[in-house]
Amino acid sequence: MGLANRNHGLLLETLRLDVTPTGAHYLLNHFDVPILDQDRHLLKFTGAFDAPCELTLEQIKSFPAKTMPVTMECAGNGRAGVSPRSFSMPWMYEAVGTSMWTGTPLAPLIRKAAPRSDLVEISFTGADYGFDMGEDHFFGRSLTLQQLEELDVLLVFGMNGAPLLPQHGAPLRLIVPGWYGMASVKWLTDIEALTEPYDGFQQMRTYRFKETADDEGRPVQAIRVKSLMLPPGVPDWKTRRRYVQAGPVELMGRAWSGAGRTIECVEVEIRDEWHEAELQKNPDRYAWTKWSYAWAAEPGEHGLRCPATDSAGDTQPLDPPWDMSGFANNAAHCVNVFVE
């Protein structure tokens, strides 16, 4: 309950909007939100760089800026649907959101710092600090040089046209488009060029797909294809059950996938029949795609599902994929409605 009351998900009714309102975007912070002074903030490039340096926020803002919509999803999204459930944030389906992120591409800055030829990968460390499984650490993650270039990684200082908010990583964070949120390190203070593989806690101990407790696991990386439906009708306060009037109902939602894959198809299931939804043209590579379907709602109980298929041919499963930690559960979203 402590975790659920701190962290919060998307309000599904805001799926109507291309950009999730600030504050309605999901939030997952491992430790306390650091309250940092942007005027004194320094980003340090250390380790195996030939030209290590320190940059102030003003200096970072003087590089070419770019604003782009990116759909971000928590690796633990859907965990509550995976049984037996691991003890962590009990997301159902709502740990996702799309923001307009403003920053400067990271790759040119890394090139400027001149990684040595024996570089293995680059680590990114935030100012958020605490304990997990008895080990204290600053939150950190790593990327290879190739990943960093391919993923269009952005060094971000703005969100939805305003400065970054403290709980979203102010004054400086990474955005790694197409990967689950754990890669987008917040409150970024250190970029280190490593000549040995990175062994940070949040890369080696968590965020790994494990079949069993002693499985070493495979890293969680690109976002799996997924689609959410804006629940039609009106809710009941406590049960969140939906009430819909019989007749024409415009169903709509958003679908996305990772690693730059586009959405090819969304199918809507109504009483065991499948209908292809209409996709809105989406010019933004890293943002979700809007879909809609004109439903003639008939009285009775309905469980509406809306699985998507991406450009790699991956389709959402109807049942949750198994993983010890409940990571990356992309089982089809089901909205229960009562039509009267």
Smallest distance, its own copies to C-beta of residue 5, A: 5
Smallest distance, its own copies to C-beta of residue 73, A: 14
Smallest distance, its own copies to C-beta of residue 164, A: 10
Degrees (nearest 5) of the Cα angle 61, 36, 162? 50
| Coil vs helix vs strand at 204 | helix
Smallest distance, its own copies to C-beta of residue 202, A: 10
Nearer to its own copies, 19 or 114 (CB): 19
Nearer to its own copies, 35 or 318 (CB): 35
**Buried/exposed code over 230-259 (b: 16+ C-beta within 10 A; e: otherwise):** bbbbeeeeeeeebebeeeebebbbbbbbbb
| Coil vs helix vs strand at 38 | coil
Smallest distance, its own copies to C-beta of residue 144, A: 26
Short-list 262, 261, 260, 275, CA closest to 229: 275
Binding stretches for its own copies (CB under 8 A): 1-9, 11, 13-14, 16-17, 21-25, 27, 29-33, 35, 80, 87-88, 90-92, 94, 129-132, 136, 162, 165-168, 231, 234-240, 243
Measured between alpha carbons, how far is 80 from 86 in angstroms, rounded to an integer? Answer: 9
Nearer to its own copies, 81 or 103 (CB): 81
Smallest distance, its own copies to C-beta of residue 245, A: 11
Cβ 124 vs Cβ 140: under 8 Å: yes
- Residue 8 is given by DSSP the state B
Residue 188 tokens read as: 């970024």
Residues 6+ apart with CB under 8 A from 99: 19, 20, 22, 25, 69, 70, 72, 159, 160
Residues 6+ apart with CB under 8 A from 272: none
Nearer to its own copies, 92 or 246 (CB): 92
Smallest distance, its own copies to C-beta of residue 93, A: 9
Nearer to its own copies, 208 or 261 (CB): 208
Nearer to its own copies, 31 or 63 (CB): 31
Nearer to its own copies, 8 or 61 (CB): 8
Residue 121 CA, distance from chain mean position: 22
